[in-house]
Chain A
């Protein structure tokens, strides 16, 4: 047997205190893991989303407060006039100086609403869209069953939403007291659209009294896609020429979201730092009380020939193992929390993603918390004289 085996046996014997300390390590690590995983997943999903849009320019209301962005990442309760489409087209044609290159304009109206099926109900987004324009711009859009809507009050549902409402093509849902036939189910894209239901724009405008209003206008043009300078110029012209709109490329959209995410991230990281500090103090208290109750054992080990450095090593091994275990458990809990948050709250559609770098960081944080908080009491108690261990009442 060696010092490491002794340390393992000691941890096993003090299960209660070891678990107590493990929890103190797990807490900050799990919070850190959850936050970083969620932010990272959101970021990846945003990038995927931007690339899946297949649009060159996105036009949305000029001033959007963060509370107007739904958890699915779409703008709700802020609108632009549908008439802007004409102005947008004019500006682009003036810049391109040709009408041969088609400009696909795909306006959308997003309404957050309750959707009721025969078996269930949920709150999600009804997207009123121009199916022809969307399909022209996005050939990757596919259905796993049914067909595309052909008339009013026909709709297609995202795969995740269909799962929640137990829908299949041919089913019936009510939205704002109006009945819709679900004629198709989307193929899962791992994007917020998986949680939406899509109907004709005019129908959505009519049943929610939003005639002439849209939430966003997506635009696709091959020439602008190919020429970044021209794209920048177009965006500048659109923003200058049309009041109350903000034109941006999906890349810019992603960047804007990313900045928002980073700001949130900084705030959340400060919570993690605070948790780490609190945990370090908790572990310090646990270690101190645990070591002081082990003073006689320290005396025994010293009288059996252990030097202070061997004792120090023995205790550090114990706390290293607990830190390592705390890091692993914390990471796993973090991943699970991320999945649950995503499934029930955020609905980013990111699933479970294993991040090796984050795993290494969480292990490091676990070990750091454990060692940092135990170093001083361990060092002090290792240095205690044998005579003091048997002379004084140390038990706490």
Chain B
């Protein structure tokens, strides 16, 4: 296996990020002095036990939450200081999210769920062929026979693929996936992670996946180990040879 170490200009950079939650039981330090850089087209796995801060780190990376201390930069923009509306616009343009339990909307079919973001903002370049593009994405995820099916007609794995299709339709720079394979069988788990792997290589999308599953984590370029909010270790980026799906 030919693996090279590549140093690139970071897409996302976290500088000494600390996140403290104020709870009734007192302050809880969810992240402590975490520094991390992510490059374009990289697949990163966040691993660690429950409560280690994986989701919090993912939320801060995706501008869903703000750090208590530290800075978050995406390319040349410091995103942790943007206003709420600026963050909404920023997220629409740069990020997509896949959650563990983000089932598609039950009243929409697969195609409509894929196109859901465009109920709220216009597609980039005002693409007229957005429907064709959505169908293409759905087909690429092996759902060609499910385009007009409703979510209750799909399996858990297929629903998660719909979530990925929705994440891809906006052409994001980064996909942040919080335990996307947690409720899936092995076949679907591997399908999801291989899809992410392929997206990083073919489309240059940066994907961050939080997971407990080391088999899944091993598909990543780098694995970041978290414990009690502290980033213990992060492997250097390793470029994998292309993975042939199926």
Residues of A participating in the B interface, judged by any CB pair closer than 8 Å? 1-3, 6, 9-10, 12-13, 296-297, 299-301, 303-308, 310, 385-387, 390-391
Contact for B116 among A296, A304, A387, A391, CB less than 8 A: A304
Contact for B102 among A3, A303, A308, CB less than 8 A: A303
Q: Would you call B156 an interface residue if the criterion is a C-beta within 8 Å of the partner chain's C-beta atoms?
A: no
Enumerate the 7 nearest inter-chain pairs by beta-carbon distance, A residue then B residue, closest first. Answer: A13-B107, A303-B97, A9-B107, A305-B92, A305-B117, A305-B120, A306-B120
Q: Would you call B55 an interface residue if the criterion is a C-beta within 8 Å of the partner chain's C-beta atoms?
A: yes
Q: Would you call B105 an interface residue if the criterion is a C-beta within 8 Å of the partner chain's C-beta atoms?
A: yes
Q: How far is the CA of A301 from the CA of B166 in the complex (A)?
A: 11
Q: A310–B55 contact, CB under 8 A?
A: no
Q: How far is the CA of A38 from the CA of B64 in the complex (A)?
A: 57
Beyond contacts A2-B119, A304-B117, A304-B120: 13 other A-B pairs, Cβ-Cβ < 8 A, are: A297-B105, A300-B102, A301-B105, A301-B120, A304-B166, A305-B91, A305-B117, A306-B119, A307-B120, A308-B84, A386-B59, A387-B55, A390-B100
Q: How far is the CA of A299 from the CA of B98 in the complex (A)?
A: 11
* A/B interface sample: 26 pairs, CB < 8 A: A1-B112, A1-B115, A3-B119, A9-B108, A296-B101, A296-B102, A297-B105, A299-B99, A300-B99, A300-B102, A300-B103, A301-B105, A301-B120, A303-B97, A304-B166, A305-B117, A306-B119, A306-B120, A307-B85, A307-B88, A307-B120, A308-B84, A386-B64, A387-B55, A390-B101, A390-B178
A148 to chain B, nearest CB (A): 69
Q: Would you call B170 an interface residue if the criterion is a C-beta within 8 Å of the partner chain's C-beta atoms?
A: yes
Q: How far is the CA of A305 from the CA of B102 in the complex (A)?
A: 14
Contact for A310 among B59, B100, B103, B120, CB less than 8 A: B120
Contact for B65 among A13, A297, A305, A385, CB less than 8 A: A385
Interface bits B115-153 vs A (CB < 8 Å: 1, else 0): 111011100000000000000000000000000000000
Q: How far is the CA of A12 from the CA of B65 in the complex (A)?
A: 34
Contact for B119 among A6, A12, A299, A387, CB less than 8 A: A6
> Which residues of chain A are near B106, meaning CB under 8 Å?
13
Q: How far is the CA of A199 from the CA of B55 in the complex (A)?
A: 91
Contact for B107 among A12, A307, A310, CB less than 8 A: A12
Q: How far is the CA of A310 from the CA of B89 in the complex (A)?
A: 13
